[in-house]
Amino acid sequence: MRRARWLAPWRDSLVKPAIYHCVSRVVDRRFVFGNEEREQFRIYLRMYEKFSGCRLLSYCIMSNHFHILLEVPPLQEGGLSDDQLLTRLRAIYSDGVVGVVAKELEDARAKGLSAYAEQIHQRYTYRMHDLSQFMKTVLQRMTQWFNRKNKRSGTLWEERYKSVIVECGIAARTVAAYIDLNPVRAGMVSDPAKYRWSSYGEAVGGGAKGNGKKAREGLVRACMSHRGAGFDSEKWCEAAKIYRKMMGIALERKSGWAKTEVSAAQQKRSVAVTQKFLQRGENTDPNVANQGDNHTALAEIRMAEMLQHRIRYFSDGAIIGSKAFVNEAFDHARERFSAKRKDGARKMRGNAAASAHELWSARDLRVNI
């Protein structure tokens, strides 16, 4: 019997975001996603984002797997109005289906049958604002499309998708940057802006339709939600600076989103600065605070360098965030652990060691970290 998925205990909160890093791989890890498949999968992600009320903060679709950073807000108090429900339905249903639902609601309201109208709402709203329903529906739709296209049957996905609870603030923007750097780590591109099927590539280049507003909104939220920012594309310039620093890249702004690129001269200077700080920091004690600008810059460089490597904690750590955040979630799910375990937070090691004093994990990983 499968253990119930670990969900954020504050998932119904209107104040504290419930954010998850989700990963799934193609069966046998086969490289079957070409440009058409990746574009279709992105279409489904955006369709069900509109339908479900869940929001993509960051994503990357690779040749045999994908990563998404998803925020799952609670359904608004009082539920959806009829017009809001019909708008959501239009994201995934035909005009004919939506018309039938609209007529049902109109008749129910005219006859004063509010309970029946609520039943009509519940046919669809149970699939909204829910992590499992979002992932289940997207994966099923992609499987159906892929099987029709390739005249095959059976599952497309290797196993049950993985999910990790992520704290807003530094944890969310670190995981978002880790996701967007997937094609760089794989050697597919040198600049994450050049990879089309990712949140950063869509934010900068605009995607297939030249409109990256949704992607910019998600990254603003990932970078700045702890400062009260919502899904506000107007804050993109500010968020982009934070995000580029997190990814360890220096971008030269030119006219148009699609023309933003990394200059060779800036790359060269960036490498020189990195080496300079690393040399200075060889004897720097990371536990000593207030070491000035050099210490701050060195910490940022080390974090950016960390994200160039695979970090297993981000897919297998169960919870990623501050020590207090991980311990809070641990206290809410005490029954998941043995009586010998006294607290939840575990220091991150291996490839994630650079973040050891910023981020903590609920799992004490020991292999391939």
Q: Span 118-133, mean pLDDT?
A: 96
Apex 353 CA angle, 351 and 359, nearest 5? 115
Residue 315 has pLDDT above 60, yes or no: yes
Helix axes 114-125, 95-110, angle to 10 degrees: 150
Phi, psi of 254 (to 5 degrees): -125, 175
Phi, psi of 164 (to 5 degrees): -130, 130
Bigger pLDDT: 268 vs 298: 298
Helix axes 264-280, 292-306, angle to 10 degrees: 120
Q: Span 331-357, mean pLDDT?
A: 89
Taking the model in full, what pTM does it have? Answer: 0.86
pLDDT one-digit tens code per residue, 52-90: 999 999 999 999 999 999 999 999 989 999 999 999 999
pLDDT one-digit tens code per residue, 21-48: 999 999 988 999 999 999 999 999 999 9
- Of 179, 194, 303, 168, which Cα lies nearest the Cα of 248? 303
Q: What share of the chain is helix, strand, coil (3-state, %, to 5)?
A: 50, 10, 35
Distance CA 222, CA 241 (A): 13
Distance CA 33, CA 142 (A): 11
Distance CA 65, CA 30 (A): 9
Distance CA 166, CA 186 (A): 24
Phi, psi of 178 (to 5 degrees): -60, -40
The 3-state DSSP class for residue 195 equals coil
Residue 152 has pLDDT above 60, yes or no: yes
pLDDT one-digit tens code per residue, 246-283: 888 754 433 333 333 334 444 454 455 445 444 544 44
